[in-house]
Amino acid sequence: MTYKAPIDDQLFVLREVLELENYSNLDGFADAPIDVVEQILKEGAKFAEDVLAPLNGVGDKEGCVWSKDHTVTTPKGFKEAYTQMVESGFPALSSKVEYGGQGLPSIINAPYSEASSSANMAFGMYPGLTHGNYSAILEGGTDEQKDLYLPKLATGEWAGTMNLTEPHCGTDLGLLRTKAVPHGDGTYRITGQKIWISGGEHDMAENIIHLVLARIEGAPEGVKGISLFIVPKFMPTKDGGVGPRNEGAKCVGLEEKMGIHGNATCFMSYEDATGFLIGKENEGLKIMFVMMNEARLHVGLQGLSQAEAAYQAAVEFAKDRLQGRSLTGPKNPDGPADPIIVHPDVRRMLMDSKATVEGCRALLYYGILQADLERHHPDEAMRQKAGDLLGLLTPVIKAYLTDRGFAIASEGMQVHGGSGFTEHFPASQYLRDSRIAMIYEGTNGIQALDLVGRKLASKGGRAVMAYFAELDAFAAENEADEALKPFIECLQKAKGRLQDATTWLMQNGLANPDNAGAASHDYLHLFALSALAYLWAKTAKAAQAKVAARDPNPFYKNKLITARHFIERIAPEGSAHLAKLKSGSANLMSLPAEAF
C-alpha cells in the first residue's frame, strides 16, 4: 500500500471550486499564484509520500517509549523526519514573515497538511499543535514573548503543546485545579497534573513550549478564574537559545491508547514549574480558544486525511483481490475470478468513500479559506462575514469530518474482508487512529452544542442568516442551468431541511434547552449536509463548465458522477436526521437514571 497525495483533486478544489485567483488582491495571496501553489503542493506531497508514509506503520507498532528520566523516545525514524520537515520550511509556510515564516495564506498550506496527516496522522500532530501554539502566542503574547517564541515555533525548531485536561476535568474546564503562584519577579510557579497532552515530551525538537491553563491563587472559581501560561521545557535565553531545564515541568508517563501510537500522549506533572503569564489574568480561555479553534479545523482535517488514506488502501485492495464474478458476466475472463471492484456492494462502499472524501475536502478548504478572508480581506463587511461563517463551520467541520473519517476508515476495512482485520494491512491502523478525532479538542457532542447553543444564537442569528443567503444566492444564480438542475435541487432540499430544523430549534430550544441539546447532533449533521450540497453544487458547476467545453480530461466527467453519488446516496440521510431532531427531548429524557 502506497499513499499518494490526491494532488489533482486538491488543485481542482483550490483553482476551480474556490477560485483562488479571485483573491489575488488580498494580502499574501499575491505571493502564491496558482503555479507556485502547484509547486508547493507537489513538494509537500513528495515529502508526505516519501518520508512520512513509510513511518506510519513503524510508529503504530513501536509507539513512543517513556523512560524514568522523564524523557520520551519517538519511534525509529521520527526524529530524522522531523528534522527534514523543519529544514523543508513547510511548517512556516503560513506563518508571518516577521517571525521567519513565508506569510502565505493558510489555504495554501492545507493540501500539505492534509497529505502529511494522511501519510502519518500521529506524526502530523506534532507540527499541527505547534502551529496552534504559535497562533495563540501571536494572538495573546507580548511583543517580547512573540519575538522570543514565534520564530522558533514557526519553523518547528521548537514544538508546542496545549495543556487543558486534568484527571477530573476535560470538557468542564471550570473544575480546573492547576494553580499558579506569583513568584515576585513577574514569573509564576505552576503546580498541577495535566493529562492527555499530545507531544508533551519527545526527542524531536530542541525545546517544547507548553501552554498551560491554571488558576492564579485567589482567582475566582469556575471558568472566570483561568489564566494561560507559557511553560517552556527549557528556559529560553534572550537570544533565542536554549537555557537550563525548567525542572518542575516533566512528563511522568504515557497513555496507552487504541491508536496514534506514534504520538506521545503524556501525563504532565508541574511542580513549581516556571511559567510566564500570557494575556491578562483570568482571561486565559480566550487565548486558548484561538489555539483550540485552529486545532478543531486541524482535527477535521485529520478525519478527512484518514478517510482518504483508508479509501486509497481499499481501492488498491478492491482492484487486486480476485473473488467471484460480476453479476453481469465475467470482467476478467482470463483470470480465476474478477477483481472485487466489479461487485455493486463493493462499489457502494468505494463510491460512498470517494464522495465523502472529495466533498469533505472541498468543505474543509472552504472553511480554511474563510479564516484567511477573515484575516486578510480589505473589506470589513467581508471579514465579518467570513468570520461568522468560520464560526459556524468550525464545529461542523470538526465533528462531521471526524464522524465520517472514522466511518470511512471502517468501510475501508470492510472492503478488505478478513484481511482488513489483520495488522498486515493498514486498514486497522486507519480505523484505530481515526477514532480519536471524534473525541479530542472537544468531543463531537460538544461541537454540536457549540453550534446550536452558541454559534447559532450569536448576534441574533446573523451568521446563519448570512449562510442561508449565500446558499440561496448561489441557487438563484444557477437554477436556470438545466445541466446543474439536480445539484441545485439537492442544495435547495438540504438547505430547506436545515431551515426547517432551525425554525424547530427556535420554537422549541429556547423554551426547553434540553430540546436544543437533544437536537444538536442531528442539527450538526443537517448543517454539514447543506454545506456539502452547496460545495457539490459549486463543484458540479466547475466540472460541468469543463465538460461543456469538451475538455478531454476525464477528471471532470468523473467528478460529475461522484457529485451525483452525493445526491443519490449521501444527501438522503438528511431526511432521517430531520425526523429524529423533531422528536424532541421529552421521551429521550424521561427514563430515570437507575433504569439504564
Residues marked as catalytic? 441
Nearest to 295 by CA among 433, 414, 397, 413: 397
Q: Does 507 bind a copy of itself (CB under 8 A)?
A: no
CB neighbourhood size of 77 (10 A): 17
Stretch that binds a copy of itself, among 161-169, 232-240, 293-301, 468-476 (CB under 8 A): 161-169
Q: Does 4 bind a copy of itself (CB under 8 A)?
A: no
Q: Does 179 bind a copy of itself (CB under 8 A)?
A: no
Question: Pattern of binders to a copy of itself over 521-550, x per CB under 8 A?
Answer: x-----------------------------
Contact predicate 180/278, CB 8 Å:
no
Beta bridge partners of 208: 159
SS3 300: helix
Q: Does 588 bind a copy of itself (CB under 8 A)?
A: yes
**Residue 139: exposure state from Cβ atoms within 10 A (0-12, 13-18, ≥19):** middle
Q: Does 431 bind a copy of itself (CB under 8 A)?
A: yes
Question: Pattern of binders to a copy of itself over 242-271, x per CB under 8 A?
Answer: -------------xxxxx------------
- The residue from 33, 241, 324, 496 that contacts a copy of itself (CB under 8 A) is 324
CB neighbourhood size of 330 (10 A): 12
Least distance in angstroms from the C-beta of 344 to a copy of itself: 3
Q: Does 485 bind a copy of itself (CB under 8 A)?
A: no
Interatomic CA distance for residues 88 and 43, integer angstroms:
9
- Cell matching residue 377: 480581506
Least distance in angstroms from the C-beta of 26 to a copy of itself: 35
- Cell matching residue 228: 494561560
- The residue from 348, 454, 462, 485 that contacts a copy of itself (CB under 8 A) is 348
Q: Does 573 bind a copy of itself (CB under 8 A)?
A: yes
Interatomic CA distance for residues 139 and 146, integer angstroms:
9
Helix axes 78-88, 34-47, angle to 10 degrees: 170
**Could you tell me whether strands 65-66 and 72-73 are parallel, antiparallel, or unpaired per DSSP bridges?**
antiparallel
Interatomic CA distance for residues 10 and 4, integer angstroms:
12
The one-letter code for the residue type at 349 is M
Interatomic CA distance for residues 131 and 155, integer angstroms:
9
Q: Does 513 bind a copy of itself (CB under 8 A)?
A: yes
Longest pairwise C-alpha distance within the chain: 83
Q: Does 454 bind a copy of itself (CB under 8 A)?
A: no
Backbone angles phi, psi at 90, to 5 degrees: -60, -40
Least distance in angstroms from the C-beta of 429 to a copy of itself: 9
Site for a copy of itself in 359-398 (CB under 8 A): none
Least distance in angstroms from the C-beta of 385 to a copy of itself: 29
CB neighbourhood size of 500 (10 A): 15
Q: Does 503 bind a copy of itself (CB under 8 A)?
A: no
CB neighbourhood size of 69 (10 A): 6
Q: Does 500 bind a copy of itself (CB under 8 A)?
A: no
Nearest to 178 by CA among 191, 159, 189, 165: 191
Q: Does 432 bind a copy of itself (CB under 8 A)?
A: yes
Q: Does 496 bind a copy of itself (CB under 8 A)?
A: no
Site for a copy of itself in 553-572 (CB under 8 A): 554, 558, 561-562, 564-565, 568-569, 572
SS3 271: strand
- The residue from 383, 445, 458, 489 that contacts a copy of itself (CB under 8 A) is 445
Stretch that binds a copy of itself, among 26-34, 65-73, 233-241, 439-447 (CB under 8 A): 439-447
Least distance in angstroms from the C-beta of 241 to a copy of itself: 35
Least distance in angstroms from the C-beta of 428 to a copy of itself: 4
Least distance in angstroms from the C-beta of 255 to a copy of itself: 5
- Cell matching residue 229: 501560561
Residue closer to a copy of itself, measured from CB, 135 or 428: 428
Q: Does 424 bind a copy of itself (CB under 8 A)?
A: yes
Least distance in angstroms from the C-beta of 586 to a copy of itself: 9
- The residue from 42, 343, 375, 383 that contacts a copy of itself (CB under 8 A) is 343
Which CA distances in Å does 261 have to 397, 403, 589? 24, 20, 38
Beta bridge partners of 211: 162, 230
Stretch that binds a copy of itself, among 155-163, 223-231, 313-321, 454-462 (CB under 8 A): 313-321
